[in-house]
Amino acid sequence: MLTDRSDHKHLIVLRHGKAAYPPVPDHERPLAQRGNQEAPAAGRWLVEQGFYPDAIITSDAVRTRQTTTWVLSELGDKAPTPYLDSRLYMAPVSRVLAVINETEEQVRSLMLVGHMPWVQDLGMRLASVDSDEDAVIEMAERYPTLGLMVFEVPGEWASLDGRDAKMTHFVVPR
């Protein structure tokens, strides 16, 4: 449910917030205090820009689930029920694309919440030549925690592969 009235679909990709380093397996690492404080900013930015995802798919790692929960709290009544997908943890970009390609066409705005390096790899693979050049350069040079990309997707989810989505935003909400 996007306020943008274009014919394009939107793909929103968010890297999780700052994680803590307790003595637990990587998959179980929670957000650090800073991550919990900053993560709601991603949801606020989406609301301010009028981006309300129809679907959210998140890695099943603790830190991505917590980040997603903060985003959902900011989206309020318009927040969809997120889907946890274990394939997004420690994933190569080809597996992430497979998850995107499975998305049903009635979904006009899809949000993924995940990890490095695939969030940055996905940005590099999808950004078309008509993308916002400054956004692509910033994303390519440094992709910090809570980095967020927005793409316009002109075709079907199933055909998204490479250099075929226009990156319109790369931000690090705080």
Measured CA to CA, the distance from residue 124 to residue 118 in angstroms comes to 10
| Tokens (6 digits) for 28 | 């179980």
pLDDT at residue 118 in the model: 98
CATH label of the domain that carries residue 68: 3.40.50.1240
For residue 3, is it within any domain?
A: no
pLDDT at residue 5 in the model: 45
Asked if residue 63 belongs to a known ligand binding site, the reply is yes
Contact 17, 65 (CB under 8 A): no
Is 12's pLDDT higher than 50? yes
For residue 130, is it within any domain?
A: yes
**Could you tell me which of 99, 101, 102, 79 has the C-alpha nearest to residue 89?**
99
Question: Omega of the bond prior to 117 within 30 degrees of 0, cis?
Answer: yes
For residue 79, is it within any domain?
A: yes
83: containing domain? 8-171
User: Mind listing the pLDDT tens digit for each residue in 109-129?
Assistant: 999 999 999 999 999 999 999
User: Mind listing the pLDDT tens digit for each residue in 134-170?
Assistant: 999 999 999 999 999 999 999 999 999 999 999 999 9
pLDDT at residue 4 in the model: 45
For residue 1, is it within any domain?
A: no
Query: Based on the structure, what is the number of domains in the chain?
Result: 1
For residue 2, is it within any domain?
A: no
Is 1's pLDDT higher than 50? no
